[in-house]
Structure 1
Amino acid sequence: MSAPCPNVLGDPRDLAEEIKKLRQTEIRQMMMRFPNNRLIIQEQGDGQVTFYRATVQATDPDWPFDLKEIDIMVSFPVSYPQEIFTLDIPTDQALPSVMGRHVQRASLEWLQAKHATNRLMGKVELLLRPFLRWLDRSLERLYTEGARQLKKDMELERAGLQFVPYQELQATVCKCNEPLHPVSHIAVHEDEKTEGNGTSADQGRPGCDDEQQEERDNKAHLLAENIRISDPRKGTEVKLLGLRLGEGTATVVARRITICLQCNRCKVMADLTLSGRTPCVAQCENCSAGINATFRPSMLHHYSDVLGYLDLNNATPVDLVLRECELTAGCLGCSQDVPVQSLCYGRAKDFNCEHCHSKLSILIDSTRFQYIQLHSSSNTADLSGGSGLNYRRNIQDPAVQRGKPLPENGTCMHYKQSHRWLRFPCCGRAYPCDVCHDKDQDHLMELATRMICGHCAKEQPYTNGKPCIGCAGMMTRGSGASHWEGGLGCRNKVRMNRNDRHKYVNANKTVSRKAASEKK
């Protein structure tokens, strides 16, 4: 609701009456918007100041977080809407204080910008309903940004460091001076302390003494350890084995990945590029089967090696083409994001931050796909229809799993005795042999530097004639057969296998009488 700016040259009593009507209209609309179970009214100073605590729920049907609501506390000053209303995010809720402060800071910036724009346009607007619409649209982004800051703070806390935001330092320096902006008095957090008597900055509000404040901080800290700030663990998990991040690399997030998928119907493999949270609908080139795929990225850091989760239909993952993936690395020095491309398995990627020029590095040995089984009683009841019978969905496991053989034991039509896949550095893809590479790709082949065992799917540096470092199995046929094997094999034709070509060698050869007599 907007109204023309009242004439300041008119009667001041008419101006005050108009402002009072607009303020009462805003309060009445707020009480009509929120039911009694989602709105709490608190009065202080004999009814001079009234705080309205409302519970705002996200309306996005694809909401990714477990925490779907947030409590806000607003207060309308006497001169509202000529001034913006005060906004505070209470800490006594299931939301870490770091994420609450981030949401509050972003909300205040939006309110100030909106109020400044209205003043330039010469109008007065009731900002509560526009603010609630903006908060509903931006809550997922604010939660994600606050979760990143929460993870950084937790990592610094484990390292024995403490991160102090610039706003808190600025508030400490300018505490006794003139406020930097007209509404800085409402940006006071409940965990900030004043000098002198050591009481809370929000002293006077009900239930905000020191003991309760400390208890809420401890509760929020425990909740911060267990809160699910990303999507639930479901689908096919993409885990980067042997992930090592440099000292200056804080986090890594995948923006776009290229995945090699195998059709469940005809077993033909093809590459598919997926962007974060964008569903992709494809079609198999061989059998025209419909394939649906969605990639939900997760945040990589020093304590998590999960790149994200795949939701697949009619396809199974085979390999992650790391060379064509686009990642974003977070610098620990300046908290800025740096794009990363052209990564290779088993080779460290060293680069510098584009902002503070700090040294960053990423090393990845291999990728593992694992389908996550959901053991939920509610899901089981839904599938069984309440009859007590458990039905398992026909989920195709990943085609390449650690500890299990590769498809066809890693062999191909060109080499039947080669039980391995070779990873070529020219494209970063894995093929059974060089002929298969040249048949699928149109660029010049480079000699493979890594290989995947066909018996256990263990990725390792390339070697020739040596057993696998994971299962100790031979991936290629030896230089000699069982007849010789360097003098250690079997040369007794009676004990030889009948399929051994050396068992019947020279069996029908004609021998002269002289040679037979000399042999005797």
Structure 2
Amino acid sequence: MELAINEMTSRCRAGLQCPFKHLQPKDRVTNPRPKPDPRQAEGAQGPSVVQERQALSHQTRALVSGSSPSQKPLSQLQQSNPREFQLGQVIRRFSPVRRDTPGDTTLSFALAPSDPDFPFELEGGLHCILTVPTPYLQNGRPTIKVTNAEMARGFQINVEKGFDSLVQSSPNKTLLALLNELDKHLEKFLTSEKAQTIKIIANADKNSRTPEPVPQVARLPSPPPISVAPRPLWTNVDRSNALAKREADVRQLEARMGRIPHYSKSPDGTTFNIPIQVAKSDRLPLNLQPLREVTLIVPRLYNLEPCTVLLKGVSGSEAETVQLAFERHVRKHLDMTLMAHINYLTQNIHSMASEMAQTTARTAPPDIPAPQQPPVEETQQGVSTEEGVEEPRGLISDEGRPHVMFIPRPPEWDRQDDSESSYDSGEFSGSEDEEQTDDEDEADSGGAALPVSSTATEKGIHISFPNLELHNIELLTLASLSLSVKCLRCKSPLDISNIKPSGDETSPSASSVRTASCPKCTTPFTVSYTPNALHANTVRAGTIEITGCTITDLLPSVFQPTCASCSTTFPVPPGMVSVRGDTPIQVCRSCHAKMTFTIHEVKFLRVSHASSDTLPLRRPKKENLGISAGTPLPDNGTCAHYRHSYRWFRFSCCHRVYPCDRCHDAAEAHVNEHADRMVCGWCSREQRFRSEDCGVCGRSVIRRRRAAGGFWEGGKGTRDKGLMSRKEKRKYKRPRGSAVGSAAVAAKKDAAK
């Protein structure tokens, strides 16, 4: 049998490595004798003989068929150099950077976790350096080193030790299989207790430096020793708190100023170029008037170290004074944010620049004599001294004209209004409400007066939300407005939705003016909306300019909030849809904080100006009916169409008074509507509609019908002659224009033919 198998395998090209067994039917073990019936054999022979034959047949079948499992064929590289074969598997899987040295081979690659629910963020995956020694598979073991910069060294050691444990537990596995096992257990290694590490710091005094020998040319007096203040020692808690505050303030600064032109940030995140707008810049010193931008320097240890500011495009002693005053203010108010410091600078730069003049006046040398002035007699409240004359504080009389009394000018009139205004940490720069024009031009001592800036005229309708409640919302903007309006001509209501604010960045191609028309009288409407950010100190949501209609109510509109925790603006859509009395709830998509607000009431305030160049609205003409209460109407309220109707009607479509619907249609161009009010024809008093009598004088406003009833206005009769009562005189009355006598008979005959 073995000879037959060897003969068949020698014919195959694979030889002994072939996974198949080449057998022929003639090579199998067969019994030349006829196969007896198993039941007869069991009856003729004993059970022991049957069991021996079954065992022999099983052994023979196993020997011939080769019941041993087939093995996977091995490549020539795997047989000749298993180490290079396993390295090739890793290279094809991860595409690493390979470096060969006489003692080992290193592969540098990134292992991306295959688990979709991996809880940690690894930028680019797990950066590894796999070291495979040259005597691998004999007495060497592979090692791994983790090089992720964002990962602490203790967790890196956990991963490296975990890989070593996998190599020890499974020494027969290939390198690729070991890396796959590392991928499966990576979360377990990173969640285990962090390994203890030691950091060694050199004990050297960096401040002590050996002075270089200076050639003594001339003997100069040695300067006094400079006392260096010791650097404060901050704990780790102080540093962590300062880092958290710096991140929050910088995030708020970028959220507020990121969209403003000329704003920029340095790559290291310590320098910010911020454009500012100074109110009443003409009152600044001449060298500070062109100021438009400042550079804010935020150190790494802010708020432990104060932030400073540099004024761009200006120079001089005033600029240095402002910078020093800003730093002094920052040191006194460490709890304020960066945005609040910038707002304080823009609103109080006038007083900061004037601090130098006040300091110079206080530190002036006292040995300069004051100019001598002639003494003045003391009057009612004036006081005279030998050194000089104090400014009188009452009425001054003239010796030549005793009847003339002079009132001195109060000293506060000559003082410039440079008082510090309160800063607002919620809004950048001042609003136009804070800017006021001066009625008098103050002349400079050197020549012409400086120009005075004037504010723009406000007009339109202000929409505000009194008693607005904001919870964890820093800013709230009305992103899409929906209104219910009423036509000025016919008073028909109309709903206008999805009104985008002017200057909307989401749809720059769309027009900021929304147009519509009245569904009844086709009067054109125009609506435009200018938004205003809502926060804790502002409840005005914006200004609406509308023509052709008036606003009646606010419909559900879309609001865009900004999270107070991380200063992240919620996207639109979806935004937050709200209306009066509603309290929507949303979750920030950045920090997952809950945001909510409540609008208790809505107010619309029309703002106009006397010098506005727009034409005033056309007022409806006052209707003069020429009647007075207590006297009857002309013709008792009847008209040519209805001779038995003693009243006039006020139609709801145009609110004008006409005797009947035909008179209304003849005078107006629109379709009439039901009249819900009337004017009595007997007493001329206007009242709600009554079908039969007046509610004031009690007289009937229609002709009294008889018991049979009639078909005229106000009656309940019928015009059908077949249904009319025989007592009705109009039943047998000949219609006007009909033929009489024989002519009527001839007309009937002609109709029959």
Common topology (TM > 0.5): no
Larger Rg: 2
Tell me which protein shows more strand as a share of its residues: 1
**TM-score normalised by L of structure 1:** 0.35
RCO higher in structure (CA 8 A, sep ≥6)? 1
